[in-house]
Amino acid sequence: MTIPTIRLFIVAVFCGAALTACSETTNPAPAEFIATDASFAGYAAWEKTTPERTGLDPASFLSGGAHDGTDTTVIRNMFVNKSGATRGTGGQFDNGVVFLKETKNADGTIKQILAMTKRGNDFNKDNGNWEWFMVGTDGIIIDRGANLMGGMCNACHSGAKTTDFVFTRS
């Protein structure tokens, strides 16, 4: 390399490094999402991940009681808070995505509401950074955490690990 070529090379490398540094500061890690009662408000108007389901819940094959799985009279609806949400880079949903499963009795009254939120920031990191929720029929959070139901949410939803622990949206 001649001296001017070397100079040009150094300038190019320097600019490249500056650009990388720049893009790093404009794309910070996505913020941790800590759900509140408001995160589930109005879910009935969210997009459904699948048409309404009736009959034996697939959960019943895996373990009896979960999601009222053995009760064939319940009506099940699954919702997502972000229309069209799909798994992005690394096969994960973005922080802030909320899935919710509602079971209703045959007369239309709500029986149970369970939800999962992509919390991120290494929360429940062995299970896709999901936080699990039991929500009351009044929309108020009853219980939450990484190991809800003695770790049963993690254990069973691991069956959908290749679709980021979500059964009804790949």
| Residue 63 · residue 156 · CB < 8 Å | yes
Give the footprint of ligand HEC on residues 67-96 (CB under 6 A).
67, 76, 78
What is the Cα–Cα distance from 115 to 121, expressed in whole angstroms? 19
Pairing of strands 110-118, 47-48: unpaired
Least separation in angstroms between residue 84's CB and ligand HEC is: 15
Could you tell me the strand order of the sheet in which 47-48 lies? 47-48, 75-80, 98-104, 110-118, 130-135, 141-145
Give the footprint of ligand HEC on residues 137-156 (CB under 6 A).
148-149, 152-153, 156
Least separation in angstroms between residue 46's CB and ligand HEC is: 12
Q: Does 113 bind ligand HEC (CB under 6 A)?
A: no
| Residue 139 · residue 40 · CB < 8 Å | yes
Rg (CA), the chain: 22
When the beta carbons of 29 and 56 are compared against ligand HEC, the nearer one is 56
Q: Which of 93, 116, 118, 135 binds ligand HEC (CB under 6 A)?
A: 116
Q: Which of 53, 82, 87, 111 binds ligand HEC (CB under 6 A)?
A: 53
What is the Cα–Cα distance from 26 to 20, expressed in whole angstroms? 10
Q: Does 114 bind ligand HEC (CB under 6 A)?
A: yes
Total site size for ligand HEC, rule CB under 6 A = 28
Copy the structure tokens of residue 31.
Answer: 């913020």
Q: Which of 99, 127, 128, 129 binds ligand HEC (CB under 6 A)?
A: 99
Least separation in angstroms between residue 135's CB and ligand HEC is: 9
Q: Look at the alpha carbons of 77, 80, 81, 82 in this order and tell me if their dihedral is positive or negative.
A: negative
What single letter denotes the amino acid at residue 53?
A: R
Residues that bind ligand HEC (CB under 6 A): 49, 53, 57-59, 62-63, 66-67, 76, 78, 99-101, 114-116, 132-133, 148-149, 152-153, 156-157, 166-168
